Structure 1
Amino acid sequence: MDDMSPLLEMKPKYTRSHPQSIFVFIFNLVCTYHAPSPPGSEQERLEYAVNSKRRALVITLRWANTHSYLLQEEPAALAFLEELYGSLSNDSRVLRALKDLVPDLEKIIKLHSEEAKATKKKTLLRQFSNGEERLQKKQPIRNQDDILLKVYCSDHTYTTIRVAVAATGREVIAAVADKLCTTEELVLLHLSSAGEKLMLKPNDVSVFSTVSINGRLFACSRGQLSTLTPHPEQEGPTAGSMSTFELMSSKDLAYQMTMYDWELFSCVHEHELLYHTFGRQSFRRTTANLDLFLRRFNQVQLWVVTEVCLCGQLSKRVQLLKKFIKIAAHCREFKNLNSFFAIIMGMSNPAVSRLSQTWEKLPSKFKKFYAEFESMMDPSRNHRSYRLTVTKLEPPIIPFMPLLLKDMTFTHEGNKTFIDNMVNFEKMRIIANTIRQVKHCRSQPFNPDICQPNKNQAEVRGYVRKFCVIDNQRALTQLSYRLEPRRT
């Protein structure tokens, strides 16, 4: 009976996906049923078959509940479970001990099959545009989604193409060439607002998601590379927005920043941290949600620097520093460590920290707060101050994501994945512990009632979701020296 079971006859049809996927491990576990039962009586062989199948099914159910993301992203994962369900249904007619697992597996398949039918492919523009679409609540970006992408030409005109989220540089170039009806060989590159050019490789995955805040994707011939210049809109604002947000409550600003950060953080799947650490090229998977969250950190940091450097009046700059310290304090109160650190790092930027006349006029009370906040950023003893702070907080928490990624990268690059052709499980355990920290931070839902909203919340919400910044450090430094020239 054990040898004739349909469950034993499943063949490995789903190995097209990356071998690192855990569902391949589960599938291989089921395939071990091909091994003959040990010698013994018919009853002993029957018990062996039931126990083996039960163990595999329990692990599979746990995996399916934990990694529902793969069932949405990987058609092969769902197909695997559907075939397993068919085999289990047949087996359970004879092996009664398996019957109680049928409804659990059926429920998972039904849920995700209906989700797959109901979830249509999204065309995403808002996540990486500067339009009002950014005011909408963020939704997770999935591999099957498309993106409308602007790609600029050397004359600063642009073409809009539609490509898959995980499209490679080669596929983007092909789409641009097709749209422009050209047979000329084109190259794809990222051009920063400072004029720095980064040639993108043909096999780079999801190239749009790593574009800097004011950066742009350009497609041109190799002969045009030397003449390529940033688009004027990449320069950023020429005037600050203090007149807009100085009348807004610091607590309201921090609250809306926290709401937005939580939306972005909630969209990041744990697998994206692995793709980021091990290299998304080898997985052919996007890390767009993680990239958006990291991009937000940079944006908040640059917002602080931009506003200070565009503020011409000394007294107003002092008010700005006080405002940012207050906002940072409320972010810490809301356990939004991502924006908290972004604001403090913005104030530590050389273009701001060198403004001695401004800092001298800052009241001592605020200097003390700032010194306390800055001490939390102390990198000594492996960021001990920050880590101790986090251990005292209860979720929900928005963590300082760059440090978590640094931990994972350090672990990955400092330890071999395989030792004597065997998996280095100690390395995997350390990486898993970092990912558990992310899961812990999101183990409780964010309570939107932590702050009593004022009547102008819509205005505050709109403001914090579309910061306009200068992301050129050289330009910011020049503005800083105009405000306070170097003392001789």
Structure 2
Amino acid sequence: MALEGPTPVCAQTPQGSEPDTLDYALSSKSRVIRLVLQWACSHGDQLPEEEQVLRAFLEELYMSVCKDSKLIPGLTEMLPELGKMVKHNSEDADSSQKKHKVLLRQFSMGDERLQKRQPIRSSDEILFKVYCLDHTYTTIRVPLAASVREVISTVADKLGTDQDLLLVSLSSAGDKTVLKPDDVSVFSTLSINGRLFVCHRDQMDSLTPLPEQEGPSLGTMGSFELMSSKDLAYQMTVYDWELFNCVHEHELIYHTFGRHKFRKTTANLDLFLRRFNEVQLWVVTEVCLCAQLSKRVQLLKKFIKIAAHCKENKNLNSFLAIVMGMGNPAVSRLSQTWEKLPSKFKKVYGEFESLMDPSRNHRAYRLTVAKLDPPVIPLMPLLIKDMTFTHEGNKTLVDSLVNFEKMRMIADTVRTVRYCRSQPFSKPILISMPQRLLLSAVCSRSCCVC
């Protein structure tokens, strides 16, 4: 869209006097510039992976307008606004280049969970442990969007070997998955207690989980029961909103059509999806680690209260994660515990379960969401399911033509995410730092079930 001077436009204008020709050129080029400015202002922040392209485009446009303004003086009035936009994007690009040099810590379970989250980019780097057969490890530093082939190459250089190696994802239950060479974003797609191992093909059967993968052996009932259900639900919502707000709309597309096709990371989306499993398994873990019957009853009541407050906060992701956690077979089979649960709580839990009814394409849940005003934290696994079914159930090309109906259906799901975030989340409740530390520790506990 860069303009190369008035000649091409003037050549297409109707025959007339020179002033008329210049007025036509001024009008045409002004409309183009206004369109570009509006587009850059509205959608420039949605192109984090193409910042350099956007920056180069705006700079080229600015230089072309400067050149044209010598022949069409009316364009001079638009130069300050265009120059301001170029400067703004240049500053953003410079700051983002500084940010991606900072190693990511979002995949750790430490105190950095208290820090405000920032969107993760494909160019960001991460320090990560890759384990060997004997449970020793080597720490590698690679871009987050690095492929498995690149990760293996880095590990081989660290270990000083030139033999063929496999990169294996090992869960706490001992399940092994050999990662494909072209897979990307493998660090963020690990299960909650999953770890990366490198080995030769004939050593795969000898891989065993690390002791740390077994998860906690004691519950937190002692401190958990002292916390306000309302405050805990609110802090969970604040944390979930930060994760959800970092998810870029493009990540939904990358996840649906395949990360390897774009060579882009979906780390923000992966972390938010993993959060659902964390909350769900947190509920299962706490209940199953509680040995006393009376305490387990109190735990169920506590979780039902937290779920109710999450629903009030329109945090449907954690709300349904807690409900699914209580419906897990490991919890639902505790018949004596459920028998002693007061009928009032059983009735509330029954109402919550009805929202999870998958019949008629989750009609109960969708009707509930349709009545809510933003901000809303939706059930992200269901949105991903919608996009996956749309993608796999419809051809992208029909008779060598783009299937726009499929693209519209995918766009509708993306618009749902945009609508849920169209209003900012309310200001956080002020609580003491010890309480915040305690809340964060409970919300981010590893789970023994994986």
TM-score range, shorter chain: over 0.9
TM-score, normalised with respect to structure 2 = 0.92
Quick check: 1:94 aligned with 2:71?
yes
Aligned amino acid, residue 346 of structure 1 = G
2:126 and 2:141 in contact (8 A); partners too = yes
Aligned amino acid, residue 336 of structure 2 = Q
Could you say what secondary structure the match of 2:109 adopts? coil
Quick check: 1:6 aligned with 2:4?
yes
* CA-CA distance at 1:226 after TM superposition: 1.4
Matches within 5 A, 1:146-295: 146-295=125-274
Q: Which residues of structure 1 form unaligned runs of 5+?
A: 10-32, 473-488
Q: What residue number does 1:64 align with?
A: 40
2:10 and 2:25 in contact (8 A); partners too = no
Quick check: 1:387 aligned with 2:366?
yes
Q: What residue number does 1:37 align with?
A: 12
Cα distance between partner residues in 2 of 1:97 and 1:422: 43
Q: What residue number does 2:80 align with?
A: 103
1:73 and 1:143 in contact (8 A); partners too = no
* CA-CA distance at 1:263 after TM superposition: 0.9
Quick check: 1:297 aligned with 2:297?
no
Aligned amino acid, residue 45 of structure 2 = S
Aligned equivalent of 2:90, options 113, 117, 126: 113
Matches within 5 A, 1:305-320: 305-320=284-299
Q: What residue number does 1:483 align with?
A: none
Q: What residue number does 1:135 align with?
A: 114
| Worse-matched range after superposition: 113-122 or 181-190 | 113-122
Could you say what secondary structure the match of 1:151 adopts? strand
1:260 and 1:465 in contact (8 A); partners too = no
Matches within 5 A, 1:319-468: 319-449=298-428, 451=429, 453=431, 456-468=434-446
Could you say what secondary structure the match of 2:126 adopts? strand
* CA-CA distance at 1:8 after TM superposition: 8.7
Cα distance between partner residues in 2 of 1:128 and 1:155: 23
Deviations 1:202-222 (A, max 9, x none): 111121110111000111111
2:55 and 2:86 in contact (8 A); partners too = yes
Cα distance between partner residues in 2 of 1:6 and 1:225: 61
Cα distance between partner residues in 2 of 1:134 and 1:269: 20
1:50 and 1:97 in contact (8 A); partners too = yes
Cα distance between partner residues in 1 of 2:143 and 2:380: 26
Quick check: 1:469 aligned with 2:421?
no
1:140 and 1:289 in contact (8 A); partners too = yes
Cα distance between partner residues in 1 of 2:48 and 2:84: 13
Number of aligned residue pairs: give it: 445
Cα distance between partner residues in 1 of 2:124 and 2:137: 22
Cα distance between partner residues in 1 of 2:292 and 2:343: 20
Aligned amino acid, residue 60 of structure 1 = V
Cα distance between partner residues in 2 of 1:353 and 1:253: 23
Given the superposition, is the C-alpha separation of residues 57 and 430 from structure 1 closer, same or farther in structure 2, using an over 3 Å criterion?
Answer: farther
Given the superposition, is the C-alpha separation of residues 99 and 353 from structure 1 closer, same or farther in structure 2, using an over 3 Å criterion?
Answer: farther
Deviations 1:78-107 (A, max 9, x none): 212211221122123323454454333322
Deviations 1:2-59 (A, max 9, x none): xx962699xxxxxxxxxxxxxxxxxxxxxxx799737755768766655654454344
Could you say what secondary structure the match of 2:47 adopts? helix
Aligned amino acid, residue 57 of structure 1 = I
Given the superposition, is the C-alpha separation of residues 292 and 385 from structure 1 closer, same or farther in structure 2, using an over 3 Å criterion?
Answer: same
Q: Which residues of structure 2 form unaligned runs of 5+?
A: none
Given the superposition, is the C-alpha separation of residues 464 and 37 from structure 1 closer, same or farther in structure 2, using an over 3 Å criterion?
Answer: farther
Q: Please, what is the CA RMSD of the aligned residues?
A: 2.4
Cα distance between partner residues in 1 of 2:362 and 2:237: 23
Cα distance between partner residues in 2 of 1:5 and 1:350: 65
* CA-CA distance at 1:452 after TM superposition: 6.2
Cα distance between partner residues in 1 of 2:55 and 2:26: 24
Aligned amino acid, residue 251 of structure 2 = E
2:278 and 2:444 in contact (8 A); partners too = no
Cα distance between partner residues in 1 of 2:176 and 2:320: 29
Cα distance between partner residues in 1 of 2:127 and 2:68: 48
Aligned amino acid, residue 282 of structure 1 = K
Could you say what secondary structure the match of 2:188 adopts? helix
Identity %: 65
Aligned amino acid, residue 112 of structure 1 = N
TM-score, normalised with respect to structure 1 = 0.85
Given the superposition, is the C-alpha separation of residues 226 and 420 from structure 1 closer, same or farther in structure 2, using an over 3 Å criterion?
Answer: same
Aligned amino acid, residue 88 of structure 1 = V
